[in-house]
Structure 1
Amino acid sequence: MKPRLIIQKSASDLGINNACAAVINNVTVSNDQSFMGVLQSNLNHVASHLNSLISNSVYEGFSRQLKKLGYENTVSANEKLLKRFVSKGAQSINNVVDAYNAVAIRHGVSIGVHTYHHQEDIHVFRCEEPRSFRPLFAKKDITIPTGDLLYSCGDAPLASIGLVDADAHDFRLTQDSSSLLVVVLGHESTPDEFNQSVIEELIEMLRQKMPGLNHYFLERGLDHGC
């Protein structure tokens, strides 16, 4: 049976009802910089009208989401990415990261991409108690506080949103990663069609260089008991 995307009530109450996730197989992660051109093009386009982002519903939605989590005046991960690129320029990480950064910059969203070989259900929820979590490239674990947003593969955290916006180091992309999980949580102002189209755009971009790539979307379910 294929894995599911399960949104628990605590996350649903935060406005995360239209989250989407997909599994992509036959991926090749490499140092190929094929997608740097589109990343730079998207960055140039967005940077040309930065002032209008103040009233952009996508950016506003992530700010509201952080406020509901208790983090007033906190810059969301997608906005941090944009500001870093505008300030320092876009830098290549690897082909897959470059591709999803290009899509994220274009649409103003946060996209989670993780190595995925476990085939377990993905759970989205707010922590009921502090959780131990090792962020990407960190040398040791940190503590995610009660109430922060998390999504996990089974019991293993994949990413946190709140005090720390980070992906899990244990599910980082490497050149051995051939199956990936892509997650767009979105917020109350991003409909299902928008979130899914963001993932589809990333998949089609990757397919330009990986014609053998295949994918499927996870069936989404709401867990009203949590």
Structure 2
Amino acid sequence: MIKPRLIIQKSASDLGINNACAAVISNVTVSDDQSFMGVLQSNLNHVASHLNSLISNSVYEGFSRQLKKLGYENTVSANEKLLRRFISKGAQPINNIVDAYNAVAIRHGVSIGVHTYHHQEDIHVFRSEQPRNFRPLFAKKDITIPTGDLVYSCGDVPLASIGKVDADAHEFRLTQDSSNLLVVVLGHDETPGAFNRSIIEELIDMLRQKMPSLNHYFLETVVDR
């Protein structure tokens, strides 16, 4: 079987997305098990204890710069929104997979996309060439991704959008029927490929503690310059 690839188109490469990393994880069980809430709370406490240093953190700064390049000058990036929400309201359990990837995301200050993945098609990263309809996670109806916003898609179907619409696609949400997952760390020009890969490996190692039969492979990353 030909394995899918992660294809970074030139429009995304020009934004500094050259080191993106993605993996497929199979034999996963999505459940209400709260076994990863302990590590999520621990990571949150650690990060909250030195919040002031985050202002000059190259990982957070890189996401802000990326949004500026997209034309969103004063927009808070998804990873920072997550941290702020957890600090103000506390970390709430969602499901075991989301709790695990939130724990890793909070620890490293990155955005991690995790999606149900049964299509086995190439993943494309690009800036949208035209407005397109998109139904964000748990939204009742579609909204429009503006031209120029950053998108990654499974084949031709958007999985996530970054920019004015900062959301994952409802169609690929995690449910208790999800057994194959796609994990994506786009990063930016300040996050090397090895760093992005290590984020995904940390998540996989965490999940494997509870799911010893879990399998995974990394997609080959192809940068179209």
Q: How does 1:1-226 map to 2 (within 5 A)?
A: 1-224=2-225
Q: Gaps (5+ residues) in structure 2? A: none
Q: Provide the C-alpha distance between the structure 2 equivalents of 1:135 and 1:18, rounded to a whole number of angstroms.
A: 25
**Offset at residue 168 of structure 1 (A):** 0.1
TM-score (norm 2): 0.99
SS at match of 1:64: helix
How far apart are the structure 2 equivalents of 1:51 and 1:164? 28
**Share of identical aligned residues, percent?**
88
Quote the Cα distance in structure 2 between the aligned partners of 1:117 and 1:204.
Answer: 22
Q: Partner amino acid for 1:135? A: P
- Give the Cα separation in 2 of the matches to 1:106 and 1:115: 23
Shift of 1:205: 0.1
For residues 213 and 89 of structure 2, the distance between their equivalents in structure 1, rounded to whole angstroms, comes to 35
SS for the counterpart of 1:208 is helix
Q: Whole-Å Cα distance in 2 between the matches of residues 41 and 132 of structure 1? A: 38
Q: Secondary structure of 1:101's partner?
A: helix
Structure 1 CA distance for aligned equivalents of residues 146 and 136 of structure 2 = 14
Letter of the structure 2 residue corresponding to residue 165 of structure 1:
D
User: What is the identity, as a one-letter code, of the residue corresponding to 1:39?
Assistant: L
Number of residue equivalences = 224
C-alpha distance in structure 1 between counterparts of 2:205 and 2:95, whole Å: 17
CA distance in 1, matches of 2:141, 2:124: 24
CA distance in 2, matches of 1:109, 1:165: 14
Q: Deviations over 1:84-107 (max 9, x none)?
A: 000000000000000000000000
Q: SS of the residue aligned with 1:54?
A: helix
- Deviation of 1:223 after TM superposition, in Å, equals 2.3
1:58, distance to aligned residue in structure 2 (A): 0.1
Could you tell me which amino acid in structure 2 is paired with residue 179 of structure 1?
N
Unaligned runs of 5+ in 1: none
SS across alignment from 1:62: helix
Using the alignment, how far apart are the partners of 1:50 and 1:164 within structure 2? 26
Deviation at 1:222, TM superposition (A): 1.6
Secondary structure of 2:19 counterpart: coil
Return the TM-score normalized by structure 1.
Answer: 0.99
* Residues 105-155 of structure 1 deviation map (CA, whole Å, 9 limit, x = unaligned): 000000000000000000000001001100000000000000000000000
Q: For residues 49 and 73 of structure 1, what CA distance do their matches in structure 2 show? A: 23
Residue 116 of structure 1 aligns with an amino acid whose one-letter code is: Y
Q: Distance between the aligned counterparts of 2:102 and 2:207, measured in 1? A: 12
CA root-mean-square deviation: 0.4
Per-residue Cα deviation, 1:22-65 (whole angstroms, up to 9, x for no partner): 00000000000000000000000000011110000000000000
> Matched residues in 2 for 1:181 and 1:187: separation?
19
